[in-house]
Structure 1
Amino acid sequence: MSAAVRKSEPSGPSARGMARLSAVQAVFQLLQSDDKASDVVEQFLKFRIAEGGDAGMPAEADRPFFRSLVSGVEADQAALMALVEGALASDWKIARLDRLMRAVLVTGVHEMKARRDVPAAVILSEYARVAGQFYQGNEPGFVTSVLDRIGRQLRPDEFAARDAQTPKDG
């Protein structure tokens, strides 16, 4: 097989992409238990290493990034939940979302809020991809919509620059 053919083949998730998926699983665990982030992170790092990626965190995942996401969600959980609830339709409350969707959203919001080194567009697409790992319907679009609304609050300059570059229908 030539190098050109190999380059055109789709690649798997990045080390950070794998860390995001594992972080959402860890945050889900935090949301349904009284566990501390440090304990859940330790469990994922020591005992939930996945060969195929299903049972836990793949060995190639970016561990420091994973740790920062899970710890950050725990430290700022109330504010993150408030941001999510504020981005929902007026007749929706965050309690209406299942725990897994809450985990996807608060992890994405934390990254949007705390990781300015990651472009908002990357965060939007990555958490839509993560949602697609768990859901088969419109949920990835829902995640993108909610994170877009929150991103416009948290990073208005970045979104204004992105909007200015987007061609308008005319």
Structure 2
Amino acid sequence: MTKGIRRQGRELALKIIYSFPDQQRDIGVILDEFWTNFRFRDDLLGETVEDDAEGQPSEQVRQFAEAIASGTYQQLSFIDERLRDSSRNWSLDRMSRVDLALLRMGAYELLFCADVPTSVAINEAIEIGKRYGTRETPGFINGILDRIGKDRSGEI
């Protein structure tokens, strides 16, 4: 079964976001390195994304992934502040890198993507967390993103 373009894009965006723990490098360089070095055909989970003849993601998947990753990168300080405010008893340093990348991606969609309903942004992060995180990831992600989602209408 083929995953939708947006799900594929979100999964790739997660991998890109995972690769930038801070803002010390230009997002263009990060994206170029990702598209050059990431091996799509033999993903760790044994799945491929919708691709072209060279094994690269389709243009639609790539554009969606880049939009999320670039937006997250550009708003990283604001997003991290919101995550700090919403994550009770957890500092960002204590979170796993996968969970933090998922939270950053989900928070970006909640705070800056008016076309994505709150429930979709949260559910997508949870579903992707089930694939890439630990057993505790979905509940952890849900709790924090739900707090951000409840404040959504007043932030944009």
**Structure 1 contact 73–110 (Cα < 8 Å) conserved:** yes
Amino acid at match of 1:22: L
Shift in Å, 1:120: 1.1
Shift in Å, 1:129? 1.1
Match of 1:51 among 41, 44, 51: 41
Letter in 2 for 1:77: L
Query: Is contact 1:22-1:57 (8 Å) kept?
Result: no
Structure 1 unaligned spans of 5+: 1-10, 157-170
Following superposition, which runs of at least 4 residues in structure 1 exceed 6 angstroms of deviation?
none
Q: How does 1:151-166 map to 2 (within 5 A)?
A: 151-155=149-153
Is the 8 Å Cα contact of residues 45 and 57 (structure 1) preserved in structure 2? no
Q: Secondary structure at the match of 2:106?
A: helix
Q: After superposition, where does 1:38-117 map in structure 2 within 5 Å? A: 38-54=28-44, 58=49, 59-60=57-58, 62-89=61-88, 91-117=89-115
How far apart, CA to CA, are the structure 2 residues paired with 1:31 and 1:116?
Answer: 26
Give me the whole-angstrom Cα distance separating, in 2, the residues matched to 1:13 and 1:82. 32
Shift of 1:43: 2.8
TM-score between the two structures when normalised by the length of structure 2: 0.81
Q: Percent identity?
A: 19
Number of residue pairs aligned between Structure 1 and Structure 2: 145
Unaligned residue ranges in structure 2 (runs of 5+): 50-56
**Per-residue Cα deviation, 1:92-117 (whole angstroms, up to 9, x for no partner):** 22221122211110111011111111
State the TM-score, normalized to the length of structure 1: 0.75
Separation of aligned partners in 1, 2:39 and 2:113: 25
Greater RCO, 1 or 2 (C-alpha within 8 Å, sep 6+) = 2
User: Any residues of structure 2 matched to 1:8-27 within 5 Å, and which?
Assistant: 11-27=1-17
**Matched letter for residue 9 of structure 2:** A
Alpha-carbon offset, residue 64 of structure 1 = 1.5
